[in-house]
Amino acid sequence: MNSKMLVFSNAVAGQDDAFNDWYDNTHLADVAEVPGVVRGERYEIVPSALGGGGEPAHRYLAVYELSGDPEDVAKAFGAKAATGEIKLSPTLDMSTLSVQIWRARDTGSSAD
């Protein structure tokens, strides 16, 4: 099953350097150790002249590739967070955090 966990986030005001240091050097590896997480990559918004909507709600995005049942991965992530194996940084703005798991659509085969 092909699925991705998308994590949209922001740093607490004035804490971008410390936030990125924690995310890049600690958190990304901690999440990658969750059973069912294959790997993760981070992105930052690119200011664009494409227009539409003004300032984006999030500056940072992490995309994690998952294997197996996404519900099992979510439970494993929650368990590691509950035990403190995954620690969150005070530089993470929890009020804007958005996490979703997306699954590839099965469009079937139309080959005749």
Domain residue limits, the chain: 3-47+56-103
Amino acid at the residue 75: K
pLDDT, tens only, 30-59: 999 999 999 999 999 987 756 666 678 899
Rounded Cα–Cα distance for residues 87 and 102 (Å): 24
Highest mean pLDDT range out of 17-21, 50-54, 85-89? 17-21
SS3 of 112, please? coil
Q: Which CATH architecture has domain 3-47+56-103?
A: 2-Layer Sandwich (3.30)
CA separation for the pair 9, 89 (Å, rounded): 12
What is the pLDDT, as a whole number, of residue 31? Answer: 95
% of the chain with per-residue pLDDT over 70: 90
Better pLDDT: 19 or 57: 19
Instruction: Residue 43: count other Cβ atoms within 10 Å of its Cβ.
Output: 11
pLDDT confidence of residue 94: 96
